[in-house]
Chain A
Amino acid sequence: MFIISLSLMGLFSLPAFSGPVLKLDANESAPFWSASLPGNGMCGEIVQAMSKAADVEASISFKPLKRMIENDANNDLGNPAFFMKNQEFSAVIPIAVYHVSIFYYLPNQPHDSSAMPLEHLKNHKVGLLKGTLVDRSSFEQLGIQFEESYSHQSMFKKLRKGRLDMVIEVDLIGQQIIRNLFPDEVEQFGVAVMPRSDAPIAVLLAENQPDSIALGKRLRDALQQVRDNGEYQRILDKYYSSETLPKNYFNQLDRFSYLYAEAEE
């Protein structure tokens, strides 16, 4: 009952650690982060495995994205691009990679839509989640309008009904929504991973986190440890099939680790 209560509060704690305490904020984005999933989702499981290897007591609190961005003294979990505009971090440790895909409904749109030139988008109805459009004015200059939605589910329902030609969504998120909404029609949906869409999911340690630089190094070493001992792969295998795991996943993760190391210099 106590565990259920903690879960409902959006708080998950790891037991029996003698090392430092690390409080982290995450935002609901299943299956990567979710208070409702076992181990708090794929990245929650990775954080748990790293914390255990590093002997760090980590706890994850789930909060709205806006609150996470506005709080400039907290440790964040997610894509660093959302948080680094407003906050300086002592360590940014990429722990996973996600990709954006174009989803389309084959009976309405039989062709692979991923190769569509930017300029041709204006002839199509493209759905995306509210808040994800970054440089709106650049698209508007090209005459491209998106249909923005507050709900993942409504986007995919519209896609199936032909009210949208395409939906732009994170790969794993879109795939699981389709499985849930249309379990008998999974094969009717086309999915094309967008080139250049790889983005990191990271643990971001705030400057005011005690011993943040040493803690960052400890977590980086722990991540390598769980990659080397196969635990990381076992977690990935729960969420990706061998067909859906991007081929360059680990190269991309290594590259992001290199790029974000500047935060510690």
Chain B
Amino acid sequence: MQRFAEFIFAAAALAILLPGSAQATGPRVTTALFSPDKNEVHAVDFPPFVTEEVVDGGPISEIVRIALKRAKLDAVITTHPLKRMVRYYLLQEDALAVMGWHFQFSKEQRKQLIFVPISGLSEKFFYYKPAYPNGLNLNEAGNLKGKHYGAHKGEEKSYFAKAGAEVHFGRTITMLKKLRQGDLDFICAPPQSVEWLVDRYMPEEKGRFISTEAHAEHQVYFIVFNRKHPSGEVAAEKFKQALSAMVSDGTSAAISKKHFGDSDNGKMFLRRLETFK
């Protein structure tokens, strides 16, 4: 114990000389840190929709947080960098709920889950203009042969693989960087994400990531409640009612407008909310 105290004291004497600021081995202060008894809703970081980097956590986080509050469900949203983490907390630690898209659950796993759609997500195909100054035509399968396609994990990719494209996986920001480097030819992503990430990480490239005329399939972003959690089924029902009321009374639309304004991206975000009133 004496040796321990001496060592720590020596370490402190040196450390005290060092400047203090945010550290790579430092605290990350979130509301979840102060809420050990609250349930958690786990999600992968997905800017600008679900991320601690955007005011109020982004539009999907804000919609979910308000719906949870109106449903009197005591839960906080926690974001993670990897999908595996979200699956782990849901399936192995029986968390109340998770949020996400491009989920891949087995038939057996789906039996224990309750899917509640939160918003529609429209995706587009993007290419890097300096690499294709005359545009990139993806409407014909023949044009895909030999191309490098950047996809999200869990995304349906068989069409591209069959057409001879080489499929790579990654997060949107790293795929944008690979487009710029020429390692990828095209990617599929929500335009709001592309716009936000380019603004945040590569503003000098603004206007160089171009969406094609080819449209990707619409996706749905879900909150998934867990029947194995003691409150899972009741919470899902209460949440559905609260969310439905938010769509009807215009709260969801107001949140979308707050984050995306009246832009086309905002309208795309809300378009499919109508389908699950």
Contact = CB atoms under 8 A, between A and B. Distances in A.
Interface residues of B, number: 51
A43 B25 contact: yes
A138 B57 contact: yes
B210 to A, nearest CB: 23
A77 interface: yes
Interface in A157-177: 168-170, 173, 175-177
Interface string A230-247: 000000011111000000
Interface in A119-159: 121, 128-135, 137-139, 141-142, 146, 149-153
A33 to B, nearest CB: 6
Interface in B147-167: none
A72 B32 CA distance: 28
B275 to A, nearest CB: 30
Interface string A16-41: 00000000001111111110110001
A133 B29 contact: yes
Interface string B167-194: 0001101100100000000000000000
B21 A135 contact: no
A137 B11 CA distance: 36
Contacts of B14: 30, 34, 36-37
A197 B33 contact: yes
Contact of B23 (A29, A76, A181, A239): A29
Interface residue SS majority, chain A? mixed
B42 to A, nearest CB: 11
Given A87-B174, A259-B84, A262-B84, A168 B27 contact: yes
16 contacts: A26-B24, A30-B14, A31-B8, A65-B21, A76-B24, A79-B28, A85-B53, A100-B33, A129-B22, A129-B26, A151-B20, A153-B20, A175-B8, A177-B15, A177-B16, A180-B16
